[in-house]
Structure 1
Amino acid sequence: MFEFKPKLFKSLKNYSKETFMSDLMAGVIVGIVALPLAIAFGIASGVSPEKGIITAIIAGFIISVFGGSNVQIGGPTGAFIVIIYGIIQDYGTSGLIAATLMAGFMLIAMGLFKLGTIIKFIPYPIIVGFTSGIAVTIFTTQIGDAFGLNFGGEAVPGDFISKLILYFKCFGTIDIWNTLITAGSLFLIVISPRFSKKIPGSLIAIILMTVIAYLLKEYAGATTISTIGDRYTINAALPSLEIPPLGWESIKNLFPVAGVIAILGAIESLLSATVADGVTGDRHDSNTELVAQGIANVVTPLFGGIPATGAIARTMTNINNGGKTPIAGIIHAIILLLILLFLMPLAQYIPMACLAGVLMVVAYNMSEWRTFKALMKNPKSDVAVLLTTFLLTVIFDLVIAIQLGLLLACLLFMKRVAETTIVSVSRKKVELTKDLGPAFKKEEIDIPQGVEVYEIDGPYFFGIANRFEELMITLKERPKVRIFRMRKVPFIDSTGIQNLTTLWRTSKREHITVVLSGVVPSVHETLQKAGFNQYIGEENICPDIYVAIERSKQILEEKEAATK
């Protein structure tokens, strides 16, 4: 039974003034760190800047109140930029709201059905592949603003190839002022950690470059520097509730992208919580965390927000600055709310080129190029999954990448499992191993003439179901009894049962009796439920090879007597 246990309520039982002061300091700093990222992620996703902050406020508050981690900080992240931008292009803002709502309900269902631990088993090459692919996509989407390219009123296409073609076509329109603003932003972000560990480089870059851009526009005639205010009308007020119309056609069309939002949100939030556990020594509740993420993604879009999840960078900032409990995350949301209400109009002066620099650094940090390079030395199957997911993410979109990446990973996994299952045949002697405590004794028993013993070592599922047929084709002589030794078969699936039934029917037509040996209780129960024991007869399901050999001798005698 699922138990919803938010960490907040447990942490408040022994809450102290000292803990509050630590949470207060961490919450203020994380709120300041989150500000430029929320604005940048909102704009890069194709919505207005305050939508990013609204997401950080509402989702950050809900995830801290209901989450399963003490230090998790939630909000918009770079991983969602690509998919949000694509949804808005194809379905508009109402489509984004609907898809996020659906994803939220999916996340809640994942938590209620205790799928939190299963999400962690998604292959690492897939995670690195789509994360690196997203990083490349984010980087390329910022090239236009970074260099101040003039597209002559032509809309920037969503797909990677068309976007690059447009960039090359317009590269002659590079603006020196925007390029210098981008370069200056990158420089400040890179060098700022040497002088300040508390104040994020992105915030320093935004403040200084905004002032410089304003002075250049006013006194140096740099009118080509584009700012947020040139493109967006900023609404520095609390948003109103908006419920989108949800028809069956919308649900059907948006279901795949909603599924990707849910999977991506689950992976990123649980990955962030796991990383945090490794630093703090705490242990998060995966299923409670998923429910909290789901609630956040149900509520946030109703107020114009975008998809949210746990953010690794902000969570680590929270830990490094003394955050102890979810109160720090709540304070971070309050700080952002105050900024939205009282300081948001100043955001109109922020240069787009500066935000491009911030997002380029985010993309670089997301790229995990060192990990990507290391994975290229792994087995070919892992490399295939990595490159497939990466290229599909970059060239097509995240929906296709995750679907085909998971499919390829599953197929390769099944291939590996199938390769570990060994099927061998014996006609003269069968080897036995007796457990005599610390010592093992090996012995062999003779197989009667006219009997074949097939040893199955590993799971009997659809990956190896046809291997018997292939093996039997190579054997020219037909026996009178076939013994399937299944002591090392941990489970059997429906395809395995069907294959076993087909083998029994084929053998029956050829007047060959099938005997099972050493069937483990769980497999025996599965065969009984499928009705296989009625075909073969309970007397032909033997507890071990000794009994199976004796049964085969009895069958041979009965067949010999029947021919006389």
Structure 2
Amino acid sequence: MLKISTSNLRGDLTGGLTAGIVALPLALALGVASGLGPMAGLYGAIAVGFFASLFGGTPSQISGPTGPMVVVLAGLFASLSGDVELILTAVVMAGIFQIVFGVLGVGQYIRLVPYPVISGFMSGIGAIIIILQIGRLLGHEPPGGTMGALEYLPQALADIDFVTLALGLGTLVIAYKWPASLGKYVPGALAALIIGTLVSLALSVPILGDIPTGLPSIHMPTFTEGKIFMVLEAAFILAILGAIDSLLTSLVADNMTRTRHNSNRELIGQGIGNTVAGLIGGIAGAGATMRTVVNIRSGGKDRISGMTHALVLLAIVLGLSPLAAKIPHAVLAGILVKVGLDIIDWGYLKRAHTGPRWDFALMILVLGLTVFVDLITAVGVGVVLAALAYVRQVAQLQLDEVNKIPENLDDPEENALLEKAGGKVSMFSFGGPLSFGAAADLGHHVRERVRERSQVLILDFSRVPVVDVSAAMAVETITSDAHAAGRELVISGATDEVKKVLDSINTHQPNVRMFKTRLEALDCALRIISDKDDGSDGEGKLASV
């Protein structure tokens, strides 16, 4: 049930007002960077900011256009030759995808993306934003796309507009060096926007120009034959990227407010916001870390703060659009360069040499794929490689235990039975969940450690909570090897869940005896040996996997 708390009304209003002021220059800059224009940035900030706060699962979060989302939109703008209606259709579809993600409970899985992957694609996005703005800082309008901007760079460097460059760099310096004491009243990005615009009035530099004012018009989704798959692909990427971006910001908000967000509800809220944004001509958005932090530090804790932030921007749209028309492109480029620099994970890059090399290599790989290929490939490859590396580590830990073969069992009664077997019983006690990672080498390790004189092979599953099909198939191979060598096989300690998996793929054959305890399995082994020979003395072995 939707609840709006008014217990912190003053703090929420203050936080929302401050966040709205901070969001203004970013919304304008990101709107221009997307290719759809400054008003699209403002409309997106209003729609996503209001509805994500109203329906989302992170009360203190401020949502709106973000760098990662704009990178995808800018690429789509170039691919669709500026077809605004199709781009807005992608935004609407992205919102619908996010609503579906929330309903299906996908939020809990998105948070499982490994940190090196997140760091790599976020840093890659930061690099893309900077690359796309270098040409504008030099006084040019480079072609769309990262590669186009890089290829155009030599031409831009050969013909630098030093007035534009000075204005853009000056804006960047002000945004970074604005005194913290003044930042309480006027945020650095807003100060840079105002000062840069005032200075530009005495210069001849490109400006935004006429900006429409008033309420937005409705843009219904349209589908063009031959481009539908491109639109849906972009929408899916926007949905995934926005979900990751938002849930990461939700974690930041949790740490600051000592609360716990609802991941799936947050996705539904973000989805509603993006759907509305596309319908009114706004760009896609997500949870914005910097604006959320500003909101919380200014006293915002509940939904009213995010809704207030959106209403502040709406008031600006209705009354101050003519002033925004005077903003130079160079000033927005300077602000965007700061956005890009802030997105790059400098903290991890500084400490990367002290951590595992594989994680750092994965981060660099994802960064490179993000910049030079595309975001979905980068994240997909990163997640798969990280998962395989983790599975390999866990499998190695399981298989390494095979080398630890204690001379005696802990239980005196069990140990007495094992010694009585005279080396004719080989026992393997598997430890922990058995999965496909260890399955390939499991049978090999067991074969290496079974004594030739063993007449009975005991597989102890007392410490195994679950097995998967791959591991069960490996157990079936061990069973077949034992029968081929003339050995009897006994299984002990298997839970009902483990038995179910073993039975489902016929690893438990009729002539394989199964017991609840290891003591019962050893007693059965002695009876088998007694039936086969005279029970000569020897040593038993326990192999622990």
TM-score by length of structure 1 reads: 0.86
Q: Which residue of 1 is the match for residue 467 of structure 2?
A: 492
Distance 1:435 1:210 in 2: 85
Alignment of 1:369 with 2:342, yes or no, is no
Distance 2:469 2:218 in 1: 49
Q: Which residue of 1 is the match for residue 16 of structure 2?
A: 27
Pairwise CA distance, 1:356: 0.7
Distance 1:40 1:444 in 2: 78
The counterpart of 1:315, out of the listed 292, 308, 322, is 292
Q: Which residue of 2 is the match for residue 85 of structure 1?
A: 74
The counterpart of 1:451, out of the listed 422, 425, 435, is 425
**Structure 2 SS opposite 1:89:** helix
Q: Which residue of 2 is the match for residue 146 of structure 1?
A: 137
**Structure 2 SS opposite 1:455:** strand
Alignment of 1:262 with 2:262, yes or no, is no
Alignment of 1:182 with 2:163, yes or no, is no
Change (3 A) 1:313 1:427: closer
Mapped contact 2:218–2:280 kept (Cα < 8 A): yes
The counterpart of 1:201, out of the listed 181, 184, 188, is 188
**1:326-365 residue pairs with structure 2 within 5 A?**
326-365=303-342
Pairwise CA distance, 1:445: 2.9
Deviations 1:497-528 (A, max 9, x none): 22222333344344433221222343234334
Alignment of 1:383 with 2:360, yes or no, is yes
Pairwise CA distance, 1:67: 1.4
Mapped contact 1:423–1:457 kept (Cα < 8 A): no
Change (3 A) 1:173 1:416: same
Alignment of 1:239 with 2:216, yes or no, is yes
Q: Which residue of 2 is the match for residue 219 of structure 1?
A: none
* Percent of matched pairs sharing the same residue: 34
Deviations 1:109-143 (A, max 9, x none): 33223333332222111111111111111111111
Larger deviation, residues 313-322 vs 349-358: 313-322
Change (3 A) 1:501 1:127: same
Distance 1:300 1:331 in 2: 17
Figure out how many residues of one structure are paired with residues of the other and give that number.
529
The counterpart of 1:54, out of the listed 29, 43, 57, is 43
Pairwise CA distance, 1:397: 1.9
The counterpart of 2:177, out of the listed 191, 199, 213, is 191
User: Partner amino acid for 1:21?
Assistant: R
Mapped contact 2:135–2:149 kept (Cα < 8 A): no
Q: Which residue of 1 is the match for residue 524 of structure 2?
A: 551
Change (3 A) 1:283 1:471: closer
User: Partner amino acid for 1:228?
Assistant: L
The counterpart of 1:112, out of the listed 103, 118, 124, is 103
Q: Which residue of 2 is the match for residue 395 of structure 1?
A: 372
The counterpart of 1:462, out of the listed 412, 425, 436, is 436
**Structure 2 SS opposite 1:69:** coil
Deviations 1:46-82 (A, max 9, x none): 2111001000111111011111222111111112122
**Structure 1 SS opposite 2:462:** strand
Alignment of 1:43 with 2:25, yes or no, is no
Q: Which residue of 2 is the match for residue 523 of structure 1?
A: 498
Distance 1:156 1:249 in 2: 24
Pairwise CA distance, 1:176: 1.4
Change (3 A) 1:477 1:252: farther
Change (3 A) 1:96 1:479: farther
Deviations 1:434-490 (A, max 9, x none): 499xxxx99883244443222322321111112133225546837443222222223
Distance 1:266 1:198 in 2: 32
Pairwise CA distance, 1:429: 7.7
Change (3 A) 1:532 1:249: farther
Distance 1:494 1:254 in 2: 39
Distance 1:489 1:124 in 2: 29
Change (3 A) 1:553 1:461: same
Pairwise CA distance, 1:251: 5.8
Mapped contact 2:417–2:523 kept (Cα < 8 A): no
TM-score by length of structure 2 reads: 0.89
Distance 2:193 2:199 in 1: 10
Mapped contact 1:105–1:298 kept (Cα < 8 A): yes
